[in-house]
Amino acid sequence: MAAELRVSRSDPGQFTSAAAVARWCARRGWPVHPLAPGRKTPVGNCTACRAPGHDRGACDCLRAGRWCHGFHAATLDLDLIEQWWGARPGHGVGVACGPAGLVVIDIDAHERELPGRDRLLPGVAISAGIDLTGLANGFHTLGVLAALRGVTSPADDSSTLRVRTPSGGLHVWYRNDDEGRRWQCSAGSGGARALAWQVDVRACGGYIVAPGTVTRAGVYRPVGPAREPAPLPSWLAGELERTGHLPAAPARAAAGPRPVPPRARQAVIAAGGGRGVSERVLAGVLAEVAACAAVPEGAAFSEKLNRAAYTAGGLVAAGHVTEAAATRALREAAEHARPGQDGRCRAIIRGGLHAGRSRPLSPGGRV
């Protein structure tokens, strides 16, 4: 285990087991789920979950900690991770991008016939006078977009985690630090949104293959020096917004921040030990969790609870709060938002706290 942890801080591409890859991801706050052996697709659902009309939201498999429903079952729970990959070491590792706060640019290098000029860079006119000779894949179209904006192409961004795919493509991982923007996938969107030809976006509503995962086609290997995602560049965020990767703003019942439920507030005060700044930091993320009570579905509850637990774990590691009191506050807010889902919430809280403890956080939000 000690050798594995040393490797985990340097190069996940050197791991010798999928379980090690999954643990490495979970410790970074990236929920994981199993992929079918040798493939890049999630493990299939059980017979009951494959039945027509099956209600995923009411599924007992998710509540029982089974992997049905792909990235919707992703977890940070290290015990569950050991159970999943310990029993099936041949399974690959997928990361649920939305709950992980990730935006991954998926660049393909497939040899295909060049589409019309209007499809190369949606929304960007390419005049007939421009010579397209040599333009053949997503590396080229993304490079053209970056050149038009006067910036470095994500494919050449050595400041962030990049992962070479077995087919010769590239996954460029970025961190979404803007909690007000929930970027949506273009992969699987049915053509409703696109950044560039042969360039997909993996974000909320999707998953990405973890670095170090082995498939029949080969290994997903990190390239370059970076092993952590950098913040999403502002120019790229602008392009994603321009090309429809943000959902329509949901209707709000009332303006202004929502309060933390009374019982959770008392737990926050206890967690902060009387230190006002740490109380406010924890109260802020708990309020996001509590606000999900007003939205039965589609509120990104798991993401918000995971984020709150991760923040609390950082405060615990820095000595600003006690783990017992932070856990109590998280559970109170989760119970307020999603009554009767204690088992699921406990797993998210446990995993988030564990991941957060690896990065001590000051009350001001600095690692």
If asked whether residues 280 and 188 sit together in one domain, one would say no
**Beta strands in the chain, from DSSP E residues, in sequence order:** 32-35, 92-96, 102-107, 162-164, 170-175, 199-202, 207-209, 214-215, 218-219, 221-223, 230-231
Q: In degrees, to the nearest 5, what angle opens at C-alpha 170 toward C-alphas 168 and 171?
A: 145
| In a domain? residue 64 | yes
What are the pLDDT digits (tens) for 71-98?
999 988 888 899 999 989 999 999 999 9
What are the pLDDT digits (tens) for 234-272?
999 999 999 999 875 543 433 344 455 555 555 555 555
pLDDT higher than threshold 80 for residue 59: yes
Domain boundary among 249, 271, 286: 249
Residue 46, CB half-sphere, CA atoms under 13 Å: how many? 12
Handedness of CA 21, 24, 25, 26 (dihedral sign): positive
Residue range of the domain that includes 327: 262-356
| In a domain? residue 255 | no
Which has the minimum average pLDDT: 39-48, 246-255, 304-313?
246-255
Two tokens, residue 30: 């990236």
Other beta carbons within 10 angstroms of residue 27's beta carbon come to: 20
Two tokens, residue 39: 């493939």
Other beta carbons within 10 angstroms of residue 142's beta carbon come to: 26
| In a domain? residue 361 | no
If asked whether residues 171 and 224 sit together in one domain, one would say yes
If asked whether residues 267 and 245 sit together in one domain, one would say no
If asked whether residues 234 and 289 sit together in one domain, one would say no
Q: Pairing relation of β-strands 92-96 and 199-202?
A: unpaired
| In a domain? residue 367 | no
Two tokens, residue 319: 């000595």
Domain boundary among 202, 225, 249: 249
Which has the minimum average pLDDT: 106-115, 166-175, 203-212?
106-115
The number of domains in the chain is 2
Residue 360: per-residue pLDDT? 78
pLDDT higher than threshold 70 for residue 339: yes
What is the pTM (predicted TM-score) of this model?
0.69
If asked whether residues 313 and 223 sit together in one domain, one would say no
If asked whether residues 94 and 224 sit together in one domain, one would say yes
If asked whether residues 211 and 283 sit together in one domain, one would say no
Calpha distance 310→353 (Å, rounded): 5
If asked whether residues 233 and 128 sit together in one domain, one would say yes
| In a domain? residue 133 | yes
365 vs 306, residue with greater confidence:
306
| In a domain? residue 256 | no
What are the pLDDT digits (tens) for 151-187?
999 999 999 999 999 999 999 999 998 877 889 998 6
CB proximity list for 276: less than 8 A, separation 6 or greater: none
Residue 311: per-residue pLDDT? 84
Nearest by Cα to 342 from 350, 334, 333, 351:
334
If asked whether residues 170 and 111 sit together in one domain, one would say yes
Domain boundary among 225, 249, 273: 249
If asked whether residues 30 and 69 sit together in one domain, one would say yes
If asked whether residues 178 and 234 sit together in one domain, one would say yes
Which has the minimum average pLDDT: 8-12, 280-284, 305-309, 315-319?
8-12
What is the average per-residue pLDDT within 34-38? 94
| In a domain? residue 236 | yes
| Mean pLDDT value across the chain | 82
If asked whether residues 269 and 245 sit together in one domain, one would say no
Residue 318, CB half-sphere, CA atoms under 13 Å: how many? 20
